[in-house]
Amino acid sequence: MQLIIKREDGGVSLGPIAKDADPKEQVRKWQEATVGQTAVSWRVSDEVISRPASRAFRDAWTDDNPGEQVDVDMPKARAIKTGKVRAERNIRLVADDLEYMKADEADDDTRKRRVANRKKKLRDLPADIQSDLDALDTPEVLEAYQPAWPE
């Protein structure tokens, strides 16, 4: 048996539950253990609920269509992917800041323009890839997606 808890943030938590356990008590214990999380609803399943193969979009799991599996909210998963792209982009922007400073110290205007153009493309990247992300319809394909990073 499994306890499926729909959280206030829209996500789902799953856990085993003994046949003789009181589900309400289990939900209360879960809320105590997960400070800041609130259960909106819960259900008990006699079947083992299958989880998505990857935990990459764990915060996008949903139980909106109760069945024998946890689903992935694709719009939420796309937002998570965009956040990951932004994080990688920010690392690249920091490296470009350093390269720009070196070009400035060397008074190399050509190199400075090249770096400035790349930084603009990096800043625009999250918005530019949205149509690509919108076309991806499974969590597996979304997880594998890599944007074309400017060079």
Residue-number span of the structural domain to which 93 is assigned: 74-144
Q: Which of these three, 72, 104, 122, is where a domain ends? A: 72
Tell how strand 39-45 and strand 2-7 pair up.
antiparallel
* Residues 95, 66 share a domain: no
Q: Which of 27, 60, 25 is nearest to 41 (CA)?
A: 27
Could you tell me if residue 27 is inside a domain? yes
Residues 82 and 132 in one domain: yes
pTM assigned to the model: 0.82
Nearest residue to 97 (alpha-carbon basis) of 128, 72, 122: 122
Tens digit of pLDDT at every position of the chain (151 positions): 888 888 888 888 888 888 888 888 888 888 888 877 888 888 888 887 888 888 899 889 988 777 778 889 999 999 999 999 999 999 999 999 999 999 999 999 999 999 999 999 999 999 999 999 999 999 999 999 999 999 8
Residues 54 and 87 in one domain: no
